[in-house]
Structure 1
Amino acid sequence: MLSDDDGTPSPSTLRSSSTVRFRDKIVVITGGGSGIGKSLAHAFAREGARLVLVDLKNSHTVARDLNSLRDDCDDSTSFHHLAFTCDVTNPRQIRHMIQQVKTKYGKIDIYCSNAGIILPRDDADTINNSGNNNYHHGSNDDDSIARHSDSQWTKILQINLLSHIIAFRELLPDWEDKEGGVGKKKGDGIMVLTASAAGLLTQIGDASYGVSKAAVVSLAEHIAITHGSTVQVHCLAPQAVDTPFIVDQLLNKETTNSNSAMTDGILSPDVVAECTLQAIKDGSFWIFPHRRVQEYVHRKATDHTRWLRGMQKLRFNLKNQQQHVSKL
């Protein structure tokens, strides 16, 4: 694919930092009950935003805590942050949630499409060994292409990819509505999609997670290219973040201490949230809380064959580490 960037500013150029303010903005955060979503909620609240937190659980607790912590906002407000229970594997629930928010507040200014999962290794093994999609693993027992069933692949793609698509389709008409002679400008709609460095650099041992996050990266780029004149798009691509999601599922508890490649530079979700808000203010498409990700992506693009060989070597070393620890 050829690039047509001659340096000339276009209508879709991202806006400068001086034009984005969060006070009184209606901000929807999926996966808002814990982890990065919870930290995003606190960060936006400190800026005076009005929050709608969406999750299967815990979102009501976070909203209640924010409502009781008025010091967390830039000054007192009578607005009460709200919570919705929503299963993002269900398109009807996503559409209903968005319509409910728009009916109540008239608009959604910022939508943080943050909900996501990684499939637990133990659950995958149990399901595959039950007689349904019991594929032969051979020597590649860390290969989730074989380990995860068809239904599990469907589930992770529903949550990690399709939920973003369904939400964007529901939001786009309002964000691009120019009727009535009023018109719109970039930033009337802001979409933050939580991907992962795994979407750029793959995820050793977990194809389903890496593939789903790579699709999110592509989706974010497509939205920016196609709708960038009115919608401000951001792609959040962190490495490991200190959340239950990562600690309990992405990192093998038995090898956490020895697996330096997985645990290198783990950040708190609060740091990730602050990076996200700053990127929105700056108008930066990419959000890289872990600065070394840009370096890794550059290496991959510069010599892809060498990068693949390096990743093969890394996978081999990680497997040896895990096997050594399991014998202790």
Structure 2
Amino acid sequence: MKALRFEGRSILVTGGGSGIGRAAALAFAREGGRVLVADLDADAAGEAVEEIRALGGVAFAQRTDATNEDSIVSMVEQAVARHGPLRHAFNNVGLSREGTLETMTRVDWDWTLATTLTSTFLSMKHEVPAMRAAGGGTIVNTASMSGKIFTPAASPAYAAAKAGVIQLSHYASCAHAADGIRVNSVSPGLTATPLIARMFSVEQQNAIAGEAQVIARAVTPEEIAASVLFLSSDEAGMITGRDLEVAGGRH
């Protein structure tokens, strides 16, 4: 029988109630991980946990505001208290408000940076000492192709925030390699999350993807999750400070 890659390990997934985060939480649990599913939407987090437990996995949900430091502290403490020393974290919180460089308000700019970039900073700020105490671990952060190349649909705040996630991940990888902590990020292309599915049909998603990618379809949340698990696994033991594009050959 093939060994489970995350058997008995304590794992933290933010934004785990839906989309990419939910797919990753399920994937970690299938590989033996003991998962804390953190999400601002407590009902969505609870539903993800119910799905994991129905498959025989171990998980619990915690309502978490990733822009609030006290909430993040509680999240990390609960992950350790419930499942033991924290070994892996997937920071997947990120949203944007609309606007262009000329029309975006300061309120919407600040909200987007807080939700997408500051949330990642706060999560890592408290995950790192917990992992150092455990003798090491891995962190994967969700970035975006919008943080690397111009994407007309992305707001300037979202582009700046996701570029910040990539560089923050690289910074942390260098600063904490000696602690045995590897830090990477993933940059999805257009991903068929429930949010995108409500906005576009499958045919529309494929048409949009085909204009910017050599593989003319949207990425699935499960494909992003598979990349997150690889970067978190012992198989990727010499990979740190990298951003992995999962974007169908985006050009």
Tell me the TM-score normalised to structure 2 length: 0.83
- One-letter amino acid matched to 2:228: T
Unaligned runs of 5+ residues in structure 1 are 1-19, 74-79, 125-143, 179-183, 297-328
2:185 corresponds, among 222, 230, 235, to 235
- One-letter amino acid matched to 1:274: A
Give the whole-Å Cα distance in 1 for the aligned partners of 2:191 and 2:157: 19
Q: Does 1:95 align with 2:79?
A: no
Distance 1:280 1:272, change over 3 A: same
CA contact (8 A) 2:67 2:114 kept: yes
**CA offsets 1:51-100 (integer angstroms, 9 cap, x no match):** 11011220101101211222xx5xxxxxx410011121222211222122
In the alignment, what sits opposite 1:211? 160
1:145 aligns to what SS in structure 2?
coil
1:292 aligns to what SS in structure 2?
coil
Give the whole-Å Cα distance in 2 for the aligned partners of 1:116 and 1:41: 16
1:147 aligns to what SS in structure 2?
coil
1:201 aligns to what SS in structure 2?
coil
What is the root-mean-square deviation in Å for CA atoms of aligned residues? Answer: 2.5
CA contact (8 A) 1:54 1:85 kept: yes
1:1-328 aligned at under 5 Å gives the runs 21-57=5-41, 58-70=44-56, 80-119=58-97, 121=98, 144-177=100-133, 184=135, 188-205=136-153, 206-229=155-178, 230-248=180-198, 259=208, 260-261=210-211, 264-281=216-233, 282-283=235-236, 284=239, 285-293=242-250, 296=251
Give the whole-Å Cα distance in 2 for the aligned partners of 1:88 and 1:102: 17
- One-letter amino acid matched to 1:59: A
CA contact (8 A) 1:116 1:160 kept: yes
* Larger relative strand fraction: 2
Q: How many corresponding residue pairs?
A: 235
Give the whole-Å Cα distance in 1 for the aligned partners of 2:156 and 2:198: 18
Give the whole-Å Cα distance in 2 for the aligned partners of 1:96 and 1:240: 32
1:99 aligns to what SS in structure 2?
helix
Unaligned runs of 5+ residues in structure 2 are none
Give the whole-Å Cα distance in 2 for the aligned partners of 1:290 and 1:25: 29
Once the two structures are TM-superposed, the CA of residue 226 in structure 1 deviates from its matched residue by 1.5
Once the two structures are TM-superposed, the CA of residue 31 in structure 1 deviates from its matched residue by 0.7
The percent of aligned pairs where both chains have the same amino acid is 24
- One-letter amino acid matched to 2:245: F
Once the two structures are TM-superposed, the CA of residue 262 in structure 1 deviates from its matched residue by 5.8
In the alignment, what sits opposite 1:319? none
CA contact (8 A) 1:203 1:209 kept: no
CA contact (8 A) 1:220 1:234 kept: yes
Distance 1:101 1:280, change over 3 A: closer
Give the whole-Å Cα distance in 1 for the aligned partners of 2:17 and 2:83: 21
- One-letter amino acid matched to 1:33: G
